[in-house]
Structure 1
Amino acid sequence: MSEWRIYRGVREPHDGIDRLPDPPPWRDFELSGEVTPFDRHADALGDRRLPRADAYKAEERTIEAVNTALYLRRPLLVTGDPGVGKSTLAYAVARELKLGAVLRWSINSKTALRDGLYQYDSLGRLEDAGVARELRGPTNGGPQVGERGDVVAEDVAAAPASEEAHSTDLGRYLRLGPLGTALAPYALPRVLLIDEIDKSDIDLPNDLLDVFEEGMFEIPELSRVADKQSEVRVRPADHGARITVVHGTVRCHTFPFVVLTSNGEREFPPAFLRRCVRLHLPAVDDDERLRTIVRAHLPTAAEDADEVISKFLSHAASGELATDQLLNAVYLVSRTARDGAPSLDRLTALVFQHLNVTVPTES
């Protein structure tokens, strides 16, 4: 096995990530200070995507692209038709390299950068401040409310120590998003899946540039009080150990392994593309590769798959299909021994409906 390969595209997890060399100088984010631990075996918690990751078979060019992204500490932009395994790749890498649970950020047209970075419960903090004020009775002070409704200062002089700690613990009202968690100071890279970025608002790819380039971001709600609370422990997106944010800034220790998927519904700006390693996964269109996929996912049904694969290729010649449609059809055919089951032709007609054809609505 080549020593260059950190990710090998094999089914058995290993510690190859420990051999990843130092990053190039322009991608070196390592900082002194506290490193946040995470559970490298968290994928054993029953994520429904894990069976597909376990059966994922990476081709040579996929393995090369993943390793290039790992070495260069750059995001991997994966394009291709629906169902070719773009998202599954992130889970396969996380499982093989034992990098814990995948941090998944699903994108839609309303998604903004902050949605991926963090959430701040300003209303919850206002409510808690009001309760604390009622408990300690009338005072000359009280919470000072900023323009956006967040509490910027409080008079806690008359409050008992427990109430004061409760009202000033900003970490209780903050939670990092998937992107924000991936950029926390972990010793090893976390795996971040940014799914279907082509569905985003036109500004999001450009908004990501600075975060990807600098490996850090600021939380203004913490920066404003950094002189009084220089360190705040906040919750991550995956319910792991709390992350210490120093002076309101989250800084990565090592750049995460980022997989961005796109179905090719839009083009991206050159400034965004040059910061990514790009990989295109073509549609699977030969029977041997399809047999391999079926054997990996449905080993007990694979013997009956040849005729289904033949029909899949025939249907795919006249329109767009996804490989998960083939798996659905093979699964159904393996159940056709029961009374009243549709014929093979009827089953494949039901399942192999082209993705690029609009289904007419009934009047």
Structure 2
Amino acid sequence: MSWELFTGTGTSPHPEPAYDAIPDPPPWRLRDRAEPPFVATPELVDAVNAALHLRRPLLLTGRPGSGKSTLVDRIAAELQLGEVLRWHVTSKSVLTDALYRYDALGRLHAAQVAESRVKAGLEVAADGDVESYVTLGPLGTALASPDRPRAVLIDEIDKSDLDLPGDLLNVLELGEFDIPPLVRADPTGERVFEVRGADRGRYEVGGVVRAVPRHFPVIVFTSNGERAFPPPFLRRCVRFEMPAPDTERLREIVRAHLGGAADTETAAIAGFADRLLRGGNLAVDQLLNLLHLVTGEAAPGTEARGRLEAVLLRELDGR
């Protein structure tokens, strides 16, 4: 297997079809990969257990690539919580994005079409009920889960608007929220609606969605440490700071993902650990990407390896 899939000459050195020469992706790039490898420290294990016992969210802070987002997959797999529900926060995210979406324009359009068909004497489809236009968000789906807790990743909460952590407080404390369109459709609160969840499943809810106390979601917040959070929000979380890995821990991580590369690439691992120790702005997956390439069947030569290191191990602040 050749390292040079692309030569820049305009002519492929591989037989037709040339794209067949592209090897399989790294295992962590596969959509349907097995349970992701994750090396947890005893301190992190204790923090997770504390959050589980207390029914509190876990707030993980650490540099990009430190494994914050991967932890929730390990928790969900070990506790058999099903598919992880994910909410990737941006500066424009609001609380309702996490709880539900209501397609008011879609419902209005359907009503206008139905009215036009009635006037034309045509048959009208009976799919205009309000529940057809409500979709639960990731956190809303978890709170509506009737038979088991669900794992929810709320990723990069530090990217949010300043008000969002405070807006989450009541939902985190009470485990309930209103869906106003459903409340208006049934002021008595007796009707059960069937709505779509963020996992494409169907959920039976009322206008007020209340979590089963025993099934309160397992919530993991991640933060890159780019801002401070208000004390009321922090009080409701179990907090843990992901430490920068040393040489031995990096070897454990590499071994979990790449097996024998942990023993053959000791110098590269030690050099990467030294850069982290000196404050380098690097992510562990940069090291994994490099070692996957240089230890694979199509490993590059010495000169190409040097160029790869310059490209793949560049500091994340652009230096």
Q: TM-score range by the shorter chain?
A: 0.7 to 0.9
**In 2, Cα distance between the equivalents of 1:338 and 1:277?**
43
Report if aligned partners of 1:304, 1:330 keep a CA contact under 8 Å in 2. no
- 1:239 corresponds to which of 200, 204, 213: 200
- 1:266 corresponds to which of 227, 234, 247: 227
**In 2, Cα distance between the equivalents of 1:308 and 1:126?**
60
Query: Do structure 1's residue 179 and structure 2's residue 162 form an aligned pair?
Result: no
Alignment of 1:108-119 (within 5 A): 108-119=90-101
Structure 2 letter corresponding to 1:48: R
CA 1:186–1:133 in structure 2 vs 1: closer, same or farther (change >3 Å)?
same
| Cα deviation code 1:12-59 (max 9, x no counterpart) | xxxxxxxxxxxxxxxxxxxxxxxxxxxxxxxxxx973855x5311211
Report if aligned partners of 1:291, 1:305 keep a CA contact under 8 Å in 2. no
Q: 1:97 aligns to what? A: 79
> Which structure dedicates a bigger proportion of its chain to helix?
2
| Cα deviation code 1:219-255 (max 9, x no counterpart) | 1111111148822110000012x11122x11111121
* SS, match of residue 162 in structure 2: coil
Report if aligned partners of 2:250, 2:273 keep a CA contact under 8 Å in 1. no
TM score, norm. by length of structure 2:
0.83
Report if aligned partners of 1:194, 1:261 keep a CA contact under 8 Å in 2. yes
Q: 2:130 aligns to what? A: 170
Query: Do structure 1's residue 72 and structure 2's residue 32 form an aligned pair?
Result: no
Report if aligned partners of 1:111, 1:200 keep a CA contact under 8 Å in 2. yes
- 1:54 corresponds to which of 36, 57, 62: 36
Structure 1 letter corresponding to 2:37: A
| Structure 2: segments with no counterpart, 5+ residues | 1-28
**In 2, Cα distance between the equivalents of 1:188 and 1:104?**
17
- Structure 1 residue 343 displacement after superposition: 4.8
Q: 1:220 aligns to what? A: 180
- 1:207 corresponds to which of 154, 167, 176: 167
Structure 2 letter corresponding to 1:212: L
Structure 2 letter corresponding to 1:88: T
Report if aligned partners of 1:49, 1:91 keep a CA contact under 8 Å in 2. no
CA 1:343–1:310 in structure 2 vs 1: closer, same or farther (change >3 Å)?
farther
* SS, match of residue 73 in structure 2: helix
How much identity, in percent, do the aligned residues show? 51
Structure 1 letter corresponding to 2:140: G
TM score, norm. by length of structure 1:
0.73
| Cα RMSD after superposing both structures | 2.4
Structure 1 letter corresponding to 2:205: V
126-135 vs 223-232, which deviates more? 223-232
177-186 vs 79-88, which deviates more? 177-186
Report if aligned partners of 2:87, 2:155 keep a CA contact under 8 Å in 1. yes
CA 1:318–1:208 in structure 2 vs 1: closer, same or farther (change >3 Å)?
closer
Query: Do structure 1's residue 311 and structure 2's residue 271 form an aligned pair?
Result: yes
- Structure 1 residue 315 displacement after superposition: 2.9
CA 1:49–1:259 in structure 2 vs 1: closer, same or farther (change >3 Å)?
farther
Structure 2 letter corresponding to 1:238: D
Q: 1:130 aligns to what? A: 112
Structure 2 letter corresponding to 1:252: A
Q: 1:296 aligns to what? A: 256
Q: 2:210 aligns to what? A: 251
Query: Do structure 1's residue 198 and structure 2's residue 198 form an aligned pair?
Result: no
